[in-house]
Structure 1
Amino acid sequence: MDGRAYLEKLIADGFAVPQRITLDRSEVRGIALGLLAAGAIARSDMERILADLDETLKQAGLLRVMRAEKLLGGSGSGLAGVVRPEWMRAIDEPPAPVLRRVLPLVGRTFQVGHVVENLISLEVWSTLLRLNLAHGGEDHRMTECFSQALKWKGWDDAGTQYRDAGGSGTLVQSLHARNRAFTPGPSDHARLLTLVVEHDDGPATLQIPLSDLVVDGQDN
């Protein structure tokens, strides 16, 4: 795994999502340290990227992020960073997400509490993932699956941590259709996505291949 390329893409994707313009610097640092511990990135490359991130944030005027990071001790490298033009462009003019592919999930289900959802598809965009589900019939409990009180989290086998970006839904006749979005977009190395939603009845886990690979026991 090219840890340097992955870390740079993670930062660029974070800037490219308007809702995440206050990029979580401490989260990026934690991921960078994980890559370092795994031997996927050299310390000099990690420190350079983090220093450049600091300088880009500073020049972009994201002072709230910088002040919060100072409380955590900063990057600690002592390097003088440089502004990354591509990151500044992503901040000033976030690129429109590009649809990479749509993975069909018809025939699979996902159970959250007492509600069984029918999986429709997973949209893989350049800066996000969007999971589409549906539930037929008069049972309105399916809204439990999309309650804002529920905590979703996700990760993939390439080390990307995904954030819940919310969702929306429609009701047509007795068909309840919903979607849930997660940021950032996956790297080219990712092969398996894992999503977990916390529920009073216990966590529900869903695994979705991000390629043509078939994963045994992928349904709940």
Structure 2
Amino acid sequence: MPNPQFNRHSLAIKPLSERENRSNILTDHIPVTQAPVVGTGRFKEVLLTAVERIIKARELGKAVVLAIGAHTIKNGMSPTLIKLMEDGWVTHLATNGAGIIHDWEFAFLGETSEHVAKNVERGQFGIWEETGRFINLAIAVGAYEGKGYGESVGSMIAREGLQIPSVEELRGCPATDADSEITAFQKCDSIRQQQCIGKAVVGIKMGR
């Protein structure tokens, strides 16, 4: 007899409107017009070296890959990331599944960052209706279209909905020429807990 299976249909999935969030895009974003803080010591040295290498790489026509964690987005750096891509300094942006969750929640709700400790204790962490439903639907539609994880969710945000357009329309979707890459982890990202998850779809995304 097989071992008992976790029943996702028994989850009490709550709407985002009931969640306390700790980051607001209007008050917590860092505008590109704000004077940068270069810092001192080793931090300044590493930062200026990175800047020099990026400039040299782009002058030579080389790609610049920026790999970031989710907190970069959660803590309001999206305007800077967008500007770097728009101006051609970053040609490929990579993050993880949590990064795409923060990005989507900012786009959908204007807020993100639930209280992890409190909600883990309650068994409520990541169990939110809109985030799980829309991101899982986006990656399913994107799999049909032949897109990767990041492009699928980004396209849904740009369209403000889900649709399957023609190939010609797909070519006009990206806001910049930069590529995106999302590293999805099976059973780790919070949206994997919901019943609408398409496990095969996630597998397809991980292979692209």
Q: TM-score, normalised by structure 1?
A: 0.21
Give the number of the structure whose residues are more often strand, by fraction: 1
Higher relative contact order (CA 8 A, sep 6+): 2
Q: TM-score, normalised by structure 2?
A: 0.22
